[in-house]
Amino acid sequence: MRIQLFGTCLIDTMFPETGEATVRLLRHFGVEIGYPDGQTCCGKPADSGGYSRESKKAAEHFISVFDRTEGPIIIPSGSCASMVKNHYPELFKDDERMRQKAEAIAGRTHELSQFLVHVLKVHEAGLSGTGRITYHASCQLTRELGVLEEPMLLLQSLNGAEFVDLPHSDRCCGFGGIFMAKLPEVSMALADEKVDTILSTGADTVTGCDHGCLMNIADAVKRRGSAVRVKHIAAVLAEGLK
Amino acid sequence: MNHSTSSIPFRENAVKALSNSALRGAMRNATETFAIKRADAVAALPLEELREEASELRLHVLNNLSEYVDRFEMNAVRAGAKVHRAKDSEAARGIIASILQDHGIGRVVKSKSMVSEEIHLNDYLQEVGITVVETDLGEYIIQIAGEGPSHIIVPAIHKDRRQVGQLFAEKLGCEYSDDPAVLTGVAKKILREEFLSAKAGISGANFAVAESGSIVLFTNEGNGRMCTSLPPLHIAVLSIEKIIPSLADLPKFIRLLPRSATGQTITSYLSVLTGSRKPGESTGAQEMHIVLLDNGRSELVSGEYREMFKCIRCGACLNACPVYRVVGGHAYGSTYPGPMGIVLTALLEGMERAKSLLDATTLCGACGDVCPVKVPLPRLLRLLRERRVEQGLTPRLEQNAMAGFGRVVEKPFLFHLGQIAGHVFWPAVKKFGPGDAVGRMPRPVSRTFRERFA
Amino acid sequence: MNREEIVALFMENAAKIAAQPIRVGDNDEFHDALAEALGEGDSVFCPGLTEKEKAIQIPSEKRTEDYASASVCVDEADAGIAETGSLVFSSKTGRPVQAGLLPVHHVAIVSAENIYETLEDYFSAVGNSPPTNITLETGPSRTADIELTLTIGVHGPGRLTVIVF
């Protein structure tokens, strides 16, 4: 099977190891990976800020890059995947030609954990893991894409690791894209509460499917001086491949 | 309460609220309790079906609002009520003041009403020499504290029992206690005298029924019943979108409103009040006035924000909102706080005033999930942010940054240059840039994922 | 649902919201239940409008016509609603609906045949020409305005006894 990977700007710019883990993981399951040239950002930051002109530019560009390709588009980020699947068709609701293209792209798009469970059945593969792992259910992934069970199935399936539920797992961590920049004090207060719940589980690793949230949580963990590891789910799963 | 039209300083308010540990504790305790109670209460319902039906019905009313308002007025008048239409807050305040002045009334008892807060009724009546006594315990607490409500259902949610105890000891001269039962007893005794001597009562309304001309009130303490049945004069003030078609529609909302608000199956008291006292009856005000507030709603319901007016003011979105949970209602500096409050403030008070409030959401979507009538709050919040950008009301620095983003996002080469620049200049950006967020992000890498993959 | 099931549901839901429901089967039980419920009050108001209200025996030294100063109000509800355990009072029969709100103890009688199963059943019976005042009373008066701590008996009664007859 051949898929097209959208790396996301955050992973591309700040967390390339997560991109590499995603690639290792997919290849391990026999997936051939295309990485279309020219990809940039899905436009989510502009979209949530209300800059629709700029988010449309991003969407048009994304569509033009992936329109030339075939097969499933895999995105290792809940918020970017929701942007493509839910918001792109909405952005072009008054432009029939673009809307159709957007719908087609949306139909091909899968968030990574969704694809790993539903298509590759990775949760049945018996990968191994270590330590005590808990999971933060990021907002757009959970509420807009309706993906809640899949990441947990994957984590629960890891041999040698213990999965623990995070209280209020689906409560916002305070990242919120530009929210983090515009109301930093509130953002930090929310991240601090998230860290409280993480520490209450006794987990040594917290994971999730969105690097935006994980970045915000990692910062709060650092402020707390805690040794809890904050890792994207692709990285957690890929650890078991060695 | 600030009546000005200048922009609300949400960030400054929020920072102040975050450092108030009593507030943080009270908010955490209250919103947590509410969330659990609500979840338990709705679990027994065919919730999705009921939400859908209620949403459709509310939308149907909004689509035909002027006919429903006419119908309500006709039937209320037929039942003996006097109906007044108020174009805006000023008109509503004026109508209420004149009714009271015409009767020579200088003191009124009042049950909780968010619309009366919206029109700043108490301050105005005070100015013209009429004393308003709030009789809902929470409202009474904040009235003697000289504050506005911080929650649309539980106005004094931000205070803990020690603060209420100190307040009562200081303002009412009673002995200090932090036992809610004792404090409630103190207020009960004072307010009972007020009820029995009152010549007029003011209330809001949770719903107005077009086919019968009734107003419907949900209360737990009994103060709503007292304000509307003991004094000879009753004035109800409500906004026009509160209408439902018929009493047969009421059960749906009885099932949704208290469960969403406090997790109760039904409130202790539910009053359906239809006109003034008729011959042979021993209950009901001799004179009933209904003030219907428009305040821009007739126009707003025909536009892109229509669905906001499906809202039945349960407060569930406040309790679910991560931002509200940590900063409390006063930080919003507006009549209505939380997610519904941001939208309503922008619509009723204008974008200039609400522009910073629009930052007060992470767009996490929790508000939309709990709304019993499916107000698409996240979509409305995003839409308002779009309008804010179109009106040029975002900071210049942000506009420039977004314009820059727009230029590079479709040019991969420039985008990559930006990434390199980010890596190279990171120490400088951290030092001189909008450091708050930047300081919490890792440095862009020297070799991006794209380069490593190739 | 048959009548007995509706009554049972009403009793169950009334008990859940801190009302004290009592089921009586005949006149003797009715008077025993009343005697017990009224025993503690020093002044009792009863409007005496319905057959059941007229049958209530109140010692003359305890009886008062001023409901605002009474410690107990005993009256008969128009209806009950099983779904919520609510009592319904209305101004229809000339009843002072507010009388049940002022004393500390409200003793309400409801006839088993007047209990509706659902809210819809009741409101469709009302139609769209209701009397001036309809009040659904569900449990005693309550507030949670201080730290969400439940406090019973704010402005209204702290105790609600419901006699189903």
SS3 for chain B is: CCCCCCCCCHHHHHHHHHCCHHHHHHHHHHHHHHHHHHHHHHHCCCHHHHHHHHHHHHHHHHHCHHHHHHHHHHHHHHCCCEEEEECCHHHHHHHHHHHHHHCCCCEEEECCCHHHHHCCHHHHHHHCCCEEEECCHHHHHHHHHCCCCCCCCCCCCCCCHHHHHHHHHHHHCCCCCCCHHHHHHHHHHHHHHHHHHCCEEEECCCEEECCCCEEEEEECCCHHHHHHHCCCEEEEEEEHHHEECCHHHHHHHHHHHHHHHCCCCCCCEEEEECCCCCCCCCCCCCEEEEEEECCCHHHHCCCCCHHHHHCCCCCHHHHHCHHHHHHCCHHHCCCCCHHHHHHHHHHHHCHHHHCCHHHCCCCCCHHHHHCCCCCCHHHHHHHHHHHHHHCCCCCHHHHHHHHHHHHHHCCHHHHHHHHHHHHHHHHHHHHHCCHHHHCCCCCCCCCCHHHHHC
The pair phi, psi for residue C91, each rounded to 5°, is -80, 0
Distance CA B355, CA B337 (A): 14
Q: Which of A96-105, B397-406, B427-436 is the least confident region? A: B427-436
B contacts of C97 (beta carbons < 8 Å): 229, 282-283
Q: Retrieve residue B2's tokens.
A: 């600030």
Distance from CA of C7 to the nearest CA of B (A): 18
Pick C132's closest partner by Cβ from B181, B246, B284: B284
With a CB-CB cutoff of 8 Å, which residues 102-161 of chain C face chain B? 118-120, 123-124, 126-149, 151, 153-157
CB contact (8 A) between residue A54 and residue B447: no
Average pLDDT, chain A: 97
**pLDDT digit string, tens, across residues B282-331:** 999 999 999 999 999 999 999 999 999 999 999 999 999 999 999 999 99
CB contact (8 A) between residue A13 and residue B444: yes
CB contact (8 A) between residue C145 and residue B156: yes
Pick A46's closest partner by Cβ from B18, B402, B436: B402
Distance from CA of C28 to the nearest CA of B (A): 31
Between B436 and B221, name the one with better pLDDT. B221
What residues are paired with B209 via a beta bridge? B214, B244
CB contact (8 A) between residue B442 and residue A45: no
**Overall average pLDDT of the B262-280 stretch:** 95
Pick B409's closest partner by Cβ from A57, A174, A219: A57
Cα end-to-end span (Å), chain C: 19
Per the CB < 8 A criterion, the answer to whether B223 and C155 are in contact is yes
CB contact (8 A) between residue C147 and residue B29: yes
Distance CA B99, CA B285 (A): 14
What pLDDT, on a 0 to 100 scale, did the predictor assign at position B429? 78
Distance CA B80, CA A31 (A): 76
What pLDDT, on a 0 to 100 scale, did the predictor assign at position B63? 98
**Overall average pLDDT of the B12-16 stretch:** 97
Return left, alpha or beta for B3; rule: phi > 0 is left, psi -120 to 50 is alpha, else beta: alpha
**pLDDT digit string, tens, across residues C127-160:** 999 999 999 999 998 888 888 888 898 888 999 9
**pLDDT digit string, tens, across residues B143-202:** 999 999 999 999 999 999 999 999 999 999 999 999 999 999 999 999 999 999 999 999
CB contact (8 A) between residue B141 and residue C131: no
Query: Which of B304, B309, B295 is closest to B371 using CA atoms?
Result: B309
Maximum alpha-carbon separation in chain A: 52
Res C94 pLDDT > 80: yes
A224 contact B CB<8A = no
A 10 A CB-CB count for C46 gives 24
B contacts of C155 (beta carbons < 8 Å): 135, 188, 191-192, 195, 221-223, 226
> pTM higher than 0.85, yes or no?
yes
Between A112 and B3, name the one with better pLDDT. A112
**pLDDT digit string, tens, across residues A96-113:** 999 999 999 999 999 999
Distance CA A41, CA A69 (A): 17
Query: Which of C79, C80, C43, C82 is closest to C63 using CA atoms?
Result: C43
What pLDDT, on a 0 to 100 scale, did the predictor assign at position C147? 87
Distance from CA of A45 to the nearest CA of B (A): 9
Taking CA–CA distances from C68, the nearest residue in chain B reads B196
B contacts of A143 (beta carbons < 8 Å): 364-366, 368-369
Helix crossing, A211-224 with A184-200: angle to 10°? 80
Q: Retrieve residue B219's tokens.
A: 């209360």
Q: Please report which confidence band the pLDDT of residue B1 belongs to, taking 50, 70 and 90 as the band edges.
A: very low
Per the CB < 8 A criterion, the answer to whether A22 and A76 are in contact is yes
CB contact (8 A) between residue B271 and residue C135: yes
Taking CA–CA distances from C119, the nearest residue in chain B reads B251
A139 contact B CB<8A = yes
A contacts of B360 (beta carbons < 8 Å): 183, 186
Average pLDDT, chain B: 95
Distance CA B133, CA C98 (A): 20
The pair phi, psi for residue B200, each rounded to 5°, is -150, 145
What pLDDT, on a 0 to 100 scale, did the predictor assign at position B2? 44
Query: Which of B199, B166, B19 is closest to B99 using CA atoms?
Result: B199
What pLDDT, on a 0 to 100 scale, did the predictor assign at position B439? 78
Q: How far is CA C44 from CA B219, B296, C16, in A?
A: 26, 51, 26
Distance CA B217, CA B207 (A): 7
Q: Please report which confidence band the pLDDT of residue B3 belongs to, taking 50, 70 and 90 as the band edges.
A: low
Per the CB < 8 A criterion, the answer to whether B120 and B349 are in contact is no
B contacts of A23 (beta carbons < 8 Å): 453
Per the CB < 8 A criterion, the answer to whether B111 and B201 are in contact is yes
**Chain A contact partners (≥3 CB pairs within 8 A):** B
Query: Which of B157, B127, B160 is closest to B139 using CA atoms?
Result: B157
Per the CB < 8 A criterion, the answer to whether C81 and C10 are in contact is yes
Q: Please report which confidence band the pLDDT of residue B440 belongs to, taking 50, 70 and 90 as the band edges.
A: confident
Share of chain A above pLDDT 90, in %: 98
**Overall average pLDDT of the C6-22 stretch:** 95
Q: How far is CA B29 from CA A57, B26, B147, B403, C98, in A?
A: 44, 5, 21, 43, 35
DSSP secondary structure, C61-128, as one string: TTB-S-TTT-SEEEEE-SEEETTTTEEEEESTTS--GGGGTSSSEEEEEE-GGGEESSHHHHHHHHTT
Q: Retrieve residue A36's tokens.
A: 């279309």
What pLDDT, on a 0 to 100 scale, did the predictor assign at position B373? 98
What pLDDT, on a 0 to 100 scale, did the predictor assign at position B432? 66
Pick C91's closest partner by Cβ from B211, B269, B284: B284
What pLDDT, on a 0 to 100 scale, did the predictor assign at position B435? 56
Maximum alpha-carbon separation in chain C: 45
Res B403 pLDDT > 70: yes
Distance CA A63, CA A105 (A): 7
Res A219 pLDDT > 70: yes
**pLDDT digit string, tens, across residues B116-158:** 999 999 999 999 999 999 999 999 999 999 999 999 999 999 9
The pair phi, psi for residue B238, each rounded to 5°, is -150, 160
**Overall average pLDDT of the A169-181 stretch:** 95
Distance from CA of B351 to the nearest CA of C (A): 33
Residue type, A34: G
CA torsion, ordered B46, B51, B54, B55, to nearest 10 deg = -160
Distance from CA of B417 to the nearest CA of A (A): 11
Distance CA A187, CA B97 (A): 44
Per the CB < 8 A criterion, the answer to whether B310 and B51 are in contact is no
CB contact (8 A) between residue A58 and residue B410: yes
B and C adjacent (3 or more CB pairs under 8 angstroms): yes
Per the CB < 8 A criterion, the answer to whether C108 and B228 are in contact is no
CB contact (8 A) between residue B359 and residue A177: no
DSSP single-letter state for residue A190:
H
**Chain A contact probe: residue of B12, B450, B451 with most A CBs at under 10 A:** B450
What pLDDT, on a 0 to 100 scale, did the predictor assign at position B434? 54
B contacts of A37 (beta carbons < 8 Å): 412
**Overall average pLDDT of the B96-107 stretch:** 98
What pLDDT, on a 0 to 100 scale, did the predictor assign at position C40? 80
CB contact (8 A) between residue B180 and residue C133: no
What pLDDT, on a 0 to 100 scale, did the predictor assign at position B438? 75
Res A242 pLDDT > 90: no
Q: Please report which confidence band the pLDDT of residue B4 belongs to, taking 50, 70 and 90 as the band edges.
A: low
Distance from CA of B386 to the nearest CA of A (A): 4
